[in-house]
Structure 1
Amino acid sequence: MNDIPLSILFGALAALLLLSAFFSSSETALMTLNRYRLQHLVKQGNRSAKKAQRLLKRPDRLLGLILLGNNFVNILASSLATIIGMRLMGNEGIALAAGILTLVVLIFSEVAPKTLAALKPELIAFPASWIYTPLLKLCYPLVWFVNLIANGLLRIFGVKASDHNETTLNKDELKSIVAETDSIMPDRYKNILLGIIDLESATVEDIMTPRNEIIGINIEDPIEEIIQQLKNSQHTRIPIYKVSIDRVIGFLHLRTILTQLLNSENFSKQDITNNLITPFFIPETTPLHKQLQSFKVDKMRIGLVVDEYGDVQGLVSMDDLLQGIVGEIMTEDADVKKYADGSYLVDGSVTVRELNRITHWNLPTEGPKTINGLIIEFLETIPQTGTSLQLHDHQLEVISRNKHAITQVKFSPLN
């Protein structure tokens, strides 16, 4: 070794440091690859992605190969640095060489390459996969022996390397990912995806028009009043009831009845009852996705939501279902206004589920369905205007109310 020129030793040491940087960076790059993007690239036929995916199916073997290579070059580099130190300064140079090598390895073979790999994993992982694939076959006996011992130790703690599965996401994790796509997806499309993800857990009770807001016609009213209501109605399908909304006798399609109303001089209540559609009743706990299917099978577009006692709790239409799933597509929701300081002015009738979707909060949805109901349940009374409270880590103030409910609430910015 004393006959080898120092220039060759320094060259060999530099090459070993580069190899160490390669092993360190490729390890980080392969382990931080986005598995879902990787799967997408595999489906597109990317050959490098296919090789990387095959390597990642058994991470124990891949890590065994990388760490074998990394430790080998680091130990060899340490030996060369010791020889160089002794050649230059004698025994006193050993400690100095070790200190300098440690600093160089840390900066140039660990921190810098791993940082680059974490920021640009595909840039390093894909070329590395072409090297590791044949290298794994070449070194397989040694890698197998090392993994045999390592996996045996893991089994003591109940971990089996062969049980490794592809990373999966649950619903809440997927919602978090979608909620954080601000830079690549407009809010309106993001809300649509969140609504679809949350489809299975939402019920018709979450999106129905509540009982006190149902606009219907009492068939017992004078015919003149009924005609006036028909002419001024903003809805195409109207529930017709006797005295109380609990006694709905059917739904009236406005387009059908207006033709008769305009062409008949003797329009009567009998004309209305002759054109009624049989009312469709929906249990309040029906999931949205099941109700969508039910509307499709029964060829209906509107129904009354009833509780376990058969009392009408609200009304839901196909339009309500679609809006409940995808939110407001064409226009911004006027019931939730965001201000520049991060505060929100919210209508009391807004559902907790819809507010969570707009703001990406986590207010509880198991109990009351509206913001009004959530506050009243918390305080056990209808608060006065100006009342401030902290509700589930949110500071809010009651802006306005009427005799029966809270009409507007202001949520302060989250700290």
Structure 2
Amino acid sequence: MNRQKLSGVKVNFLQRRYGVSLGRRYVLAAASVVLFSVLGCSQVNNNTSALAQSDLPQSESPLPKKTVKPDTRLVNANNKFGFKLFSEILKQDSSAENIFVSPSSIAIALAMAYNGASGSTQQAMAKTLELQGMNLQEINSSYAALKGLLENPDEQVQLTIANSLWANKDISLKPDFLQKSQDFYKAKVTNLDFKDATAPNSINNWVKENTRGKINKIVEKIKPDEVLFLINAIYFKGKWSNEFDKTQTAQHPFYLISGGQKQHPMMSQKGDYRYYENEQFQAVSLPYGADGKISFYIFLPKQNSSLKALYQNLSLENWQKWMAQFSKREGFIRLPRFKTDYEATLNDALKALGMEEAFSNQANFSGFGKNLSISQVKHKTFVEVNEEGTEAAAATSVGIQMTSLRQKPEPFRMIVDRPFFCAIRDNQTGSILFMGSIVEPQ
């Protein structure tokens, strides 16, 4: 058997042994793509498969068993990174349009890339991702455990997390990196001929399938110096624990930042909710499914405040304080039915958060091979909120290129008729899956 055929056999073996087969489920979706290209003196061997450097060894670090509680250090790191990134996006996006991102998806994709980082590049990524104090083994094990905890669907709430690795057939990658991607992130491994015009379709079809058609395309085209894509896909679809009565949906005014207003379909409901308010805002938790494991959170600035003031106080510390003060309260909620999508390039935001070296010629991703740096991080999302529940999706593409018990209070009234912040949170682990700024419902 010649070397080329041997490489193909190994790839097929890896796909059979490690490939993740995700059935068609209904859930909210986020997909993150990490793309790598060779820098300067390329390590590409035209006759060597990315997976054929050597037979992959058996894992020396078996996956941890499912635990009752997640590693709070990782959950806090992801949430803190999410708030920092959201703040940077707000600074750099002056369009006054809806923003909706998946910090969990972006963090998982970058965590897979982090496995290849070394030296000062690794330190910079750890600072940006808030992973200081955790070693690589702890990070990977915690992500593996967290995936198992999050993927705990019931009939009304389903959540899937999928990862994949797409390598140019001519690139040689380190077996240790491939092993970690498969063991801890359950990544499907595939070799492609990146010169083939159909290669992007193969990647995009995987993203489309694992976001249930909500993200159709994340890779427009593959540039000559690009050699690797790491992709994360999260898809979630949840029915409200108490669905809104469609006959109660009616046109009401929604007040815009510009001072104008628009008539918009607003859903209404009375009931008992987990609720919190202070001088600055009202906040309510709308649960999904029978157990309320995941909820949709709405933060509505009061008339004498603003979204800008809320965002100035949006941090991990304040978020944890707010979450601890939610309590059951009877009330009335009216909120817009809406659907929106969002797209942004995150290079500048991540550089501002301390990851500039990872985009430069000084980048060190020797865990993959030599001479690699990130070229582009692109993020796409989708969300729809209606009387039945919520569906959402996100995709992130990271490219690497060649270089050279109290007294019962009065019932509350919460009329969400002006711009608001929202988040979808897994209440068991505390993980924030999605967050957004809705300034004009569509």
- Band of TM-score, shorter chain: under 0.3
Which structure has the larger Rg over C-alpha atoms?
1
Higher-helix-fraction structure? 1
TM-score, length basis structure 1: 0.20
Higher relative contact order (CA 8 A, sep 6+): 2
